[in-house]
Chain A
Amino acid sequence: MTDEVATAVVERFPGSIAADSHGQAVVYVDRAALADVARYLRDEEQFTMLADVTAVDHLLDGSRIEIDGVTPERFEIVANFLSHARNRRVRIICEVPEHEPTVPSLTGVYRGANFPERETFDLYGITFDGHPDLARILMPDDWKGHPLRKDDPSARVPVTFKGDPSPR
Protein backbone atom coordinates (compact mmCIF):
# COMPACT_ATOMS: atom_id res chain seq x y z
CA MET A 1 0.00 0.00 0.00
CA THR A 2 1.58 3.26 -1.10
CA ASP A 3 1.53 6.09 1.33
CA GLU A 4 -1.06 8.78 0.54
CA VAL A 5 1.36 11.66 0.96
CA ALA A 6 3.80 10.03 -1.43
CA THR A 7 1.00 9.52 -3.95
CA ALA A 8 -0.08 13.15 -3.61
CA VAL A 9 3.46 14.38 -4.21
CA VAL A 10 3.86 12.16 -7.26
CA GLU A 11 0.58 13.44 -8.71
CA ARG A 12 1.50 17.06 -8.14
CA PHE A 13 5.08 16.72 -9.43
CA PRO A 14 5.06 14.36 -12.41
CA GLY A 15 8.36 12.60 -12.83
CA SER A 16 8.76 11.84 -9.13
CA ILE A 17 8.86 8.25 -7.99
CA ALA A 18 7.37 7.03 -4.73
CA ALA A 19 9.04 4.19 -2.86
CA ASP A 20 8.83 2.38 0.43
CA SER A 21 11.89 2.00 2.64
CA HIS A 22 11.33 -0.40 5.54
CA GLY A 23 7.84 0.98 6.03
CA GLN A 24 8.75 4.65 5.57
CA ALA A 25 7.44 6.79 2.70
CA VAL A 26 10.14 8.09 0.35
CA VAL A 27 9.71 10.16 -2.81
CA TYR A 28 12.50 10.66 -5.31
CA VAL A 29 12.08 14.06 -6.96
CA ASP A 30 13.93 16.05 -9.55
CA ARG A 31 16.41 18.34 -7.81
CA ALA A 32 15.16 21.49 -9.51
CA ALA A 33 11.77 20.95 -7.89
CA LEU A 34 13.09 20.45 -4.34
CA ALA A 35 12.06 23.83 -2.93
CA ASP A 36 8.67 23.61 -4.66
CA VAL A 37 8.03 20.17 -3.19
CA ALA A 38 8.94 21.50 0.25
CA ARG A 39 6.59 24.45 -0.18
CA TYR A 40 3.81 22.14 -1.31
CA LEU A 41 4.37 19.86 1.69
CA ARG A 42 4.33 22.76 4.10
CA ASP A 43 1.35 24.61 2.67
CA GLU A 44 -0.94 21.86 1.49
CA GLU A 45 0.06 18.68 3.26
CA GLN A 46 0.58 20.20 6.75
CA PHE A 47 4.21 19.18 7.13
CA THR A 48 5.02 21.83 9.67
CA MET A 49 8.58 20.89 10.37
CA LEU A 50 11.68 20.07 8.41
CA ALA A 51 13.39 17.44 10.50
CA ASP A 52 16.68 17.19 8.67
CA VAL A 53 18.59 17.98 5.46
CA THR A 54 21.65 15.97 4.67
CA ALA A 55 23.59 14.41 1.81
CA VAL A 56 25.01 11.01 0.90
CA ASP A 57 28.03 10.21 -1.25
CA HIS A 58 27.60 6.95 -3.15
CA LEU A 59 31.03 6.88 -4.78
CA LEU A 60 32.28 3.70 -3.12
CA ASP A 61 29.04 1.80 -2.62
CA GLY A 62 29.19 -1.98 -2.63
CA SER A 63 25.67 -2.37 -3.96
CA ARG A 64 23.07 0.33 -4.10
CA ILE A 65 19.27 0.15 -3.88
CA GLU A 66 17.81 0.55 -7.36
CA ILE A 67 14.55 2.35 -7.88
CA ASP A 68 12.83 2.14 -11.28
CA GLY A 69 12.86 5.45 -13.04
CA VAL A 70 15.54 7.08 -10.86
CA THR A 71 18.96 7.65 -12.46
CA PRO A 72 21.51 7.15 -9.70
CA GLU A 73 24.06 9.94 -9.33
CA ARG A 74 27.02 10.29 -7.03
CA PHE A 75 25.37 12.51 -4.44
CA GLU A 76 21.89 12.46 -2.97
CA ILE A 77 20.25 15.20 -0.97
CA VAL A 78 17.88 13.79 1.63
CA ALA A 79 15.26 15.89 3.38
CA ASN A 80 13.06 14.47 6.15
CA PHE A 81 9.76 16.17 6.95
CA LEU A 82 7.43 15.81 9.92
CA SER A 83 3.75 16.66 10.16
CA HIS A 84 2.58 17.20 13.72
CA ALA A 85 -1.10 17.43 12.83
CA ARG A 86 -1.12 14.23 10.80
CA ASN A 87 1.60 12.54 12.90
CA ARG A 88 3.52 11.26 9.92
CA ARG A 89 6.87 11.62 8.23
CA VAL A 90 7.98 11.66 4.63
CA ARG A 91 11.39 11.65 3.06
CA ILE A 92 12.31 13.47 -0.15
CA ILE A 93 15.44 12.40 -1.97
CA CYS A 94 16.95 13.99 -5.03
CA GLU A 95 19.92 12.84 -7.04
CA VAL A 96 22.74 15.35 -7.48
CA PRO A 97 25.37 14.81 -10.18
CA GLU A 98 29.03 15.22 -9.42
CA HIS A 99 29.77 17.68 -12.19
CA GLU A 100 27.10 20.14 -11.05
CA PRO A 101 26.53 19.84 -7.32
CA THR A 102 23.83 22.47 -6.74
CA VAL A 103 20.29 22.28 -5.46
CA PRO A 104 17.80 24.99 -4.55
CA SER A 105 17.86 25.97 -0.91
CA LEU A 106 15.02 25.18 1.47
CA THR A 107 15.66 28.24 3.62
CA GLY A 108 12.93 30.14 1.81
CA VAL A 109 10.41 27.59 2.98
CA TYR A 110 11.83 26.51 6.35
CA ARG A 111 14.20 28.87 8.15
CA GLY A 112 15.60 25.92 10.09
CA ALA A 113 17.35 24.66 6.96
CA ASN A 114 20.00 27.34 7.42
CA PHE A 115 22.46 25.41 9.59
CA PRO A 116 22.09 21.93 8.02
CA GLU A 117 22.55 23.32 4.52
CA ARG A 118 25.70 25.09 5.63
CA GLU A 119 26.90 21.82 7.13
CA THR A 120 26.18 19.91 3.90
CA PHE A 121 28.03 22.55 1.92
CA ASP A 122 30.95 22.42 4.31
CA LEU A 123 31.29 18.66 4.38
CA TYR A 124 30.23 17.75 0.81
CA GLY A 125 30.67 20.83 -1.33
CA ILE A 126 27.07 20.85 -2.53
CA THR A 127 25.89 24.44 -2.96
CA PHE A 128 22.38 25.62 -2.17
CA ASP A 129 20.98 28.37 -4.41
CA GLY A 130 19.31 31.05 -2.43
CA HIS A 131 20.91 30.34 0.93
CA PRO A 132 21.47 33.67 2.74
CA ASP A 133 24.84 32.83 4.26
CA LEU A 134 26.49 29.82 2.66
CA ALA A 135 29.82 29.52 4.47
CA ARG A 136 31.68 26.81 6.31
CA ILE A 137 30.23 26.05 9.67
CA LEU A 138 32.10 23.10 11.16
CA MET A 139 35.56 23.25 9.60
CA PRO A 140 37.91 26.23 9.93
CA ASP A 141 37.16 28.94 7.38
CA ASP A 142 40.31 28.34 5.38
CA TRP A 143 40.04 24.56 5.18
CA LYS A 144 40.64 23.02 1.76
CA GLY A 145 38.46 20.16 0.68
CA HIS A 146 35.17 18.66 1.75
CA PRO A 147 35.83 16.06 4.45
CA LEU A 148 32.82 13.76 4.13
CA ARG A 149 33.34 13.10 0.43
CA LYS A 150 34.55 9.56 -0.08
CA ASP A 151 37.63 10.67 -2.00
CA ASP A 152 38.66 13.11 0.70
CA PRO A 153 41.05 11.31 3.02
CA SER A 154 40.13 10.71 6.61
CA ALA A 155 43.73 11.60 7.52
CA ARG A 156 44.10 8.59 9.76
CA VAL A 157 47.47 8.85 11.48
CA PRO A 158 49.35 5.53 11.62
CA VAL A 159 49.66 4.70 15.28
CA THR A 160 53.28 4.54 16.36
CA PHE A 161 55.09 5.31 19.56
CA LYS A 162 56.39 8.83 19.43
CA GLY A 163 60.03 9.14 20.36
CA ASP A 164 60.58 11.24 23.44
CA PRO A 165 61.71 14.61 22.08
CA SER A 166 63.41 15.76 25.24
CA PRO A 167 66.05 13.80 27.15
CA ARG A 168 65.27 13.36 30.85
Chain B
Amino acid sequence: MGLDQVPHNFVTARLEDVVRWGRRNSVFPATFGLACCALEMMATGAAHYDLARFGMEVFRASPRQADLMIVAGRVSQKMAPVLRQVYDQMVEPKWVISMGVCASSGGMFNNYAIVQGVDQIVPVDVYVPGCPPGPETLMHGILTLHEQIRTGELLRRREGSPTGGAGIDLGREPVPVELSS
Protein backbone atom coordinates (compact mmCIF):
# COMPACT_ATOMS: atom_id res chain seq x y z
CA MET B 1 0.00 0.00 0.00
CA GLY B 2 1.81 3.06 -1.25
CA LEU B 3 0.31 5.46 1.23
CA ASP B 4 2.24 3.91 4.13
CA GLN B 5 5.56 5.22 3.01
CA VAL B 6 4.37 8.82 2.78
CA PRO B 7 4.96 10.69 6.10
CA HIS B 8 1.64 11.33 7.80
CA ASN B 9 0.93 15.02 8.26
CA PHE B 10 -1.77 17.57 7.47
CA VAL B 11 -1.14 17.61 3.70
CA THR B 12 -1.00 13.89 3.24
CA ALA B 13 -4.11 13.41 5.39
CA ARG B 14 -6.01 15.54 2.91
CA LEU B 15 -4.44 13.52 0.13
CA GLU B 16 -5.64 10.29 1.74
CA ASP B 17 -9.16 11.72 1.97
CA VAL B 18 -9.10 12.54 -1.71
CA VAL B 19 -7.86 9.09 -2.59
CA ARG B 20 -10.53 7.45 -0.49
CA TRP B 21 -13.19 9.71 -1.98
CA GLY B 22 -12.12 8.62 -5.42
CA ARG B 23 -12.06 4.98 -4.45
CA ARG B 24 -15.46 4.87 -2.90
CA ASN B 25 -17.23 6.81 -5.60
CA SER B 26 -16.20 4.56 -8.44
CA VAL B 27 -16.21 1.04 -7.15
CA PHE B 28 -16.57 -1.29 -10.12
CA PRO B 29 -18.20 -4.58 -9.20
CA ALA B 30 -17.04 -7.79 -10.83
CA THR B 31 -19.80 -9.99 -12.23
CA PHE B 32 -19.99 -12.88 -9.82
CA GLY B 33 -23.67 -13.64 -9.76
CA LEU B 34 -24.12 -17.30 -9.01
CA ALA B 35 -27.76 -18.01 -8.14
CA CYS B 36 -30.95 -16.25 -7.02
CA CYS B 37 -29.06 -13.38 -5.42
CA ALA B 38 -27.71 -12.55 -8.85
CA LEU B 39 -31.21 -11.60 -9.98
CA GLU B 40 -31.56 -9.22 -7.04
CA MET B 41 -28.09 -7.83 -7.76
CA MET B 42 -29.14 -7.15 -11.34
CA ALA B 43 -32.32 -5.56 -10.01
CA THR B 44 -30.19 -3.29 -7.85
CA GLY B 45 -28.27 -2.26 -10.92
CA ALA B 46 -31.41 -1.75 -12.97
CA ALA B 47 -33.41 1.41 -13.36
CA HIS B 48 -35.57 1.34 -10.24
CA TYR B 49 -32.92 0.75 -7.57
CA ASP B 50 -30.19 2.49 -9.41
CA LEU B 51 -26.55 1.69 -8.64
CA ALA B 52 -25.34 4.17 -11.21
CA ARG B 53 -25.88 7.03 -8.78
CA PHE B 54 -22.97 5.60 -6.78
CA GLY B 55 -20.85 5.21 -9.87
CA MET B 56 -21.25 1.45 -9.78
CA GLU B 57 -23.40 0.53 -12.74
CA VAL B 58 -20.44 -0.76 -14.71
CA PHE B 59 -20.18 -4.44 -13.88
CA ARG B 60 -16.77 -5.41 -15.20
CA ALA B 61 -16.48 -8.95 -16.43
CA SER B 62 -12.71 -8.94 -16.26
CA PRO B 63 -11.46 -9.20 -12.67
CA ARG B 64 -8.45 -7.07 -13.58
CA GLN B 65 -10.72 -4.08 -14.01
CA ALA B 66 -12.94 -4.67 -11.00
CA ASP B 67 -12.64 -3.43 -7.45
CA LEU B 68 -15.47 -5.18 -5.71
CA MET B 69 -16.53 -8.80 -5.85
CA ILE B 70 -20.13 -9.23 -4.80
CA VAL B 71 -20.42 -12.95 -4.21
CA ALA B 72 -24.10 -13.29 -4.99
CA GLY B 73 -25.32 -16.80 -4.42
CA ARG B 74 -24.36 -20.20 -3.13
CA VAL B 75 -20.77 -21.33 -3.70
CA SER B 76 -20.55 -25.02 -4.50
CA GLN B 77 -17.51 -27.24 -4.05
CA LYS B 78 -16.77 -27.11 -7.77
CA MET B 79 -17.01 -23.33 -7.89
CA ALA B 80 -14.80 -22.60 -4.86
CA PRO B 81 -11.41 -22.77 -6.67
CA VAL B 82 -12.84 -20.60 -9.44
CA LEU B 83 -13.91 -18.03 -6.85
CA ARG B 84 -10.46 -17.94 -5.33
CA GLN B 85 -8.81 -17.64 -8.72
CA VAL B 86 -11.02 -14.70 -9.70
CA TYR B 87 -10.34 -13.04 -6.35
CA ASP B 88 -6.60 -13.49 -6.82
CA GLN B 89 -6.76 -11.96 -10.26
CA MET B 90 -8.34 -8.79 -8.94
CA VAL B 91 -5.93 -5.94 -8.35
CA GLU B 92 -5.51 -4.23 -4.97
CA PRO B 93 -7.37 -2.42 -3.46
CA LYS B 94 -10.21 -4.87 -3.64
CA TRP B 95 -13.22 -5.56 -1.48
CA VAL B 96 -15.65 -8.42 -1.11
CA ILE B 97 -19.31 -8.25 -0.24
CA SER B 98 -20.88 -11.54 0.67
CA MET B 99 -24.45 -11.18 -0.54
CA GLY B 100 -27.13 -13.39 0.82
CA VAL B 101 -27.09 -16.00 3.53
CA CYS B 102 -25.71 -18.74 1.29
CA ALA B 103 -22.55 -16.78 0.64
CA SER B 104 -22.28 -15.58 4.22
CA SER B 105 -22.73 -18.88 6.01
CA GLY B 106 -23.99 -21.61 3.72
CA GLY B 107 -27.56 -20.46 4.19
CA MET B 108 -30.27 -23.09 4.28
CA PHE B 109 -28.02 -25.60 2.51
CA ASN B 110 -26.09 -27.22 5.32
CA ASN B 111 -24.71 -30.17 3.35
CA TYR B 112 -21.81 -31.64 1.42
CA ALA B 113 -22.21 -29.51 -1.66
CA ILE B 114 -22.07 -25.91 -0.44
CA VAL B 115 -19.13 -24.10 1.10
CA GLN B 116 -20.39 -22.97 4.50
CA GLY B 117 -19.56 -19.33 4.16
CA VAL B 118 -17.44 -17.74 1.49
CA ASP B 119 -15.19 -16.27 4.15
CA GLN B 120 -13.54 -19.66 4.26
CA ILE B 121 -12.06 -18.81 0.88
CA VAL B 122 -11.76 -15.05 0.56
CA PRO B 123 -11.68 -12.25 3.16
CA VAL B 124 -15.12 -10.64 3.35
CA ASP B 125 -15.66 -7.00 4.20
CA VAL B 126 -19.45 -6.72 4.40
CA TYR B 127 -22.02 -9.45 4.91
CA VAL B 128 -25.48 -8.77 3.53
CA PRO B 129 -28.13 -11.11 4.97
CA GLY B 130 -31.32 -12.11 3.22
CA CYS B 131 -32.60 -14.91 1.07
CA PRO B 132 -32.34 -13.15 -1.30
CA PRO B 133 -31.60 -9.72 0.15
CA GLY B 134 -33.82 -7.17 -1.50
CA PRO B 135 -32.16 -4.40 -3.45
CA GLU B 136 -32.54 -2.01 -0.51
CA THR B 137 -30.63 -4.38 1.75
CA LEU B 138 -27.86 -4.80 -0.79
CA MET B 139 -27.60 -1.06 -1.19
CA HIS B 140 -27.35 -0.67 2.56
CA GLY B 141 -24.47 -3.13 2.45
CA ILE B 142 -22.81 -1.22 -0.35
CA LEU B 143 -23.20 2.09 1.44
CA THR B 144 -21.71 0.51 4.57
CA LEU B 145 -18.75 -0.49 2.45
CA HIS B 146 -18.47 3.04 1.10
CA GLU B 147 -18.49 4.41 4.62
CA GLN B 148 -15.73 2.06 5.64
CA ILE B 149 -13.69 3.01 2.62
CA ARG B 150 -14.20 6.66 3.51
CA THR B 151 -12.82 6.23 7.01
CA GLY B 152 -10.04 3.96 5.85
CA GLU B 153 -11.20 1.44 8.44
CA LEU B 154 -11.01 -1.55 6.14
CA LEU B 155 -7.47 -1.36 4.97
CA ARG B 156 -6.33 -0.58 8.49
CA ARG B 157 -8.12 -3.65 9.74
CA ARG B 158 -6.65 -5.88 7.10
CA GLU B 159 -3.10 -4.76 7.76
CA GLY B 160 -3.59 -5.29 11.46
CA SER B 161 -5.05 -8.78 11.54
CA PRO B 162 -2.82 -11.83 11.26
CA THR B 163 -5.09 -13.60 8.84
CA GLY B 164 -5.71 -10.65 6.54
CA GLY B 165 -9.31 -10.51 7.66
CA ALA B 166 -10.23 -13.98 6.41
CA GLY B 167 -11.03 -17.01 8.53
CA ILE B 168 -8.09 -18.80 6.95
CA ASP B 169 -5.86 -20.75 9.27
CA LEU B 170 -2.37 -19.69 8.28
CA GLY B 171 -0.80 -22.03 10.80
CA ARG B 172 -1.38 -25.03 8.54
CA GLU B 173 0.97 -26.09 5.76
CA PRO B 174 -0.36 -24.67 2.53
CA VAL B 175 -1.39 -27.33 0.01
CA PRO B 176 0.39 -26.72 -3.30
CA VAL B 177 -2.09 -26.05 -6.08
CA GLU B 178 -1.01 -27.32 -9.44
CA LEU B 179 -1.89 -24.82 -12.09
CA SER B 180 -1.49 -25.90 -15.69
CA SER B 181 1.65 -24.25 -17.02
Contact = CB atoms under 8 A, between A and B. Distances in A.
A–B interface present (Cβ within 8 A): yes
A141 to B, nearest CB: 9
A167 B161 CA distance: 7
Contacts of A155: 111-112
Interface string B55-83: 00000000000000000000001100000
Interface residues of B, number: 18
Contact of A154 (B78, B112, B166): B112
Nearest to A163: B167
B111 A140 contact: no
B106 interface: yes
A62 interface: no
A140 B78 contact: yes
A32 B93 CA distance: 61
B77 A143 contact: yes
Interface residues of A, number: 17
B165 interface: yes
Main secondary structure on A side of the interface with B:
loop
Nearest to B110: A156
Contact of A168 (B78, B111, B157, B163): B157
Main secondary structure on B side of the interface with A:
loop
Contacts of B116: 157
Interface string A134-168: 00001110010001000011111101001001111
A166 B165 contact: yes
B152 interface: no
B111 A139 contact: no
A165 B166 CA distance: 8
A136 B163 CA distance: 35
A118 to B, nearest CB: 14
Contacts of A140: 77-78
Contacts of B157: 166, 168
B162 interface: yes
A139 B77 contact: yes
Contact of B106 (A139, A143, A152, A157): A157
A48 B108 CA distance: 39
Contacts of B111: 154-156
Contacts of B117: 162
A152 B157 CA distance: 41
Contact of B162 (A147, A157, A166): A166
Interface in B109-149: 110-113, 116-117
Nearest to A147: B112
User: Which of the listed residues B78, B157, B162 has the most CB atoms from chain A within 10 Å of its own CB?
Assistant: B78
Interface string B146-160: 000000000001001
Contacts of A162: 117, 167
Nearest 8 Cβ contacts at the A-B interface: A166-B161, A155-B112, A140-B78, A154-B111, A165-B167, A156-B110, A157-B116, A165-B163
